Structure 1
Amino acid sequence: MCNSSDFSPAGVPILRHKQREREWQSTTYVDDSWLKRIEQHADKYLGEAESVFHELVSDKVHIDVHVVRPTPERNYYTLYTTGMSALPMNTPEDAQEYEYAELMICLPPDWPLLQEELENSENYWPIRWLKTMARLPHDYDTWLSWGHTVPNGDPALPLSGNTDMCAFIVLPPLEVHEDFLTLDMEDGQTVQFYAILPIYLEELEHKLEHGLDALLDQFETHHVNEILDLNRINTCVSFP
């Protein structure tokens, strides 16, 4: 459940999700034709996936993570989900065109992704969070869209031992053709594609205090994009 009665100083609603007590729910899978269209769309703009992390046990929705290897043109791993769009999100009435979405994250070309390497939580956390955020709207009867932020707890704690970043922001990816951002399906529905970017506590607070545009200005000034950089500059370190 969530409570939207809290607002940040910038007027941004703060939803506080509470653990839901519910029974295990049967899993909804994406339709084969729906899945094929997403994969073809990703192949065209991101490159063909070399492998897929298949979810073995699923509750409500089945989330797989597709892995696109680095290339000379896109010298980083691109990981994207399928399954988040198996069910519509609970969007506001004026945002129903954003009911369906999938997520992606980009990792450096030397990121450890072998099965044995992913047993180390400091290597696995981007995948775990990609799946967690893809499942979040369905677990809490809410929605995710561009500009939404999700902290690692309350108070927010570092995402891993190898970074001080402690939250994610959902944004359209920058390092891809703009035609990738949406996919019109045959039934008239539209799937939105978003990147999730890890951010620092000061950046999260800056967005809550001054609004999304103020944070995006900082990102633009410091050339922040969707490619994970564990050591990138904290763009709001000088702000309270």
Structure 2
Amino acid sequence: MNDFYEKFRNLTFFDNHPEAIANHLDNFYTSEEITVFHEMVSPDFHLDVYFISSAKHSFNILLTCGMSLLEMTVPEGVENAEQYKFAELMILIPKEIEFGEVSPSENENDWILGMLKETARFPHHYDTWLTIGHTLQATADMEPYDQATDYVGLVVLPSVTFDEEFTEIKIDNKVINILSIFPLYKNELEYKIANGYNALLDRLIEKDEKEVFNKQRGNLLDQ
């Protein structure tokens, strides 16, 4: 455990990125439309979640702020690797999904926030990266994120709701990418692992699935 803490003490933090994210959001939303779930204790790096509720959308937004404090470990050989080093994660949620005033709480939807934050921490804990097409599972045994859901993992997707004006934050000749996450059932995750991202994407298109999170959507593999 001491080695874990020591690792993060010795990394380079880009402390100006959270301010850049806040300034970016100010271009699209008023302060009244934005709430922040502040992280009270951070064992590695500080990771907050923005909750954006605007009348101009039929959905709300959860957006991490802190994943881009550290650069991800993009493998050698990836073309334009610099463009993938920094990211934050977003999920669009229905208006009726509510959270407690603080997080964590006893709210039944807290697992959604937990899923976001666990995913945002993953690349830094395991010296890897996340980008479009990548999948993650909640546990090694593909157990659900929480007893309140059957989702066991997720796939990283490009947003089809927002364009690059919103999903790319430019700062100091770098870019912070805002990536969307889409929760998956066990057989869907297994299907993607076996058949690849494009096959899963075809299923999403065939089913006309929306980017907005659905607690109990139909299975992509059902006929």
| Residue of structure 2 in register with 1:207 after alignment | 192
* Counterpart check, 1:63 vs 2:44: no
Q: Deviations over 1:191-219 (max 9, x none)?
A: 11101111111211111121111111111
SS in 2 for 1:119: coil
Identity of aligned residues (%): 33
Match of 2:140 in 1: 154
- Among 175, 178, 181, the alignment partner of 2:164 is 178
1:165 equivalenced with 2:151 (yes/no): yes
Task: Say how many residue pairs are matched.
Answer: 216
**Pairing partner for 1:90 from 73, 89, 92:** 73
Q: TM-score, normalised by structure 2?
A: 0.86
Select 2:113's aligned residue among 127, 137, 143.
127
Equivalent residues in 2 for 1:42-53, closer than 5 Å: 42-45=25-28, 49-53=33-37
The CA deviation at 1:160 is 2.4
- Give the structure 1 partner of residue 93 of structure 2: 107
* Backbone CA RMSD of aligned residues: 2.3
Residue 227 of structure 1: how far off its partner (Å): 1.3
1:190 maps to 2:175: yes
Gaps of 5+ in 2: none
CA contact (8 A) 1:162 1:230 kept: no
Contact 1:29 1:83 (8 Å CA) reproduced: no
> Is the Cα contact below 8 Å between 1:147 and 1:212 reproduced in 2?
yes
Q: Which moved more, 1:111-120 or 1:199-208?
A: 111-120
- What SS is found at the alignment partner of 1:97? helix
- Give the superposition deviation at 1:112: 2.0
2:52, 2:177 → 1: CA distance? Answer: 19
Q: Which residue number in structure 2 is paired with residue 10 of structure 1?
A: none
| Letter matched to residue 15 of structure 2 | D
Q: Is the 8 A contact 2:47 2:67 kept in 1?
A: yes
SS in 1 for 2:3: coil
1:115 positional shift: 2.7
CA deviations 1:59-98 (Å, max 9, x no partner) are 3321111110142x31222011111111110001223320
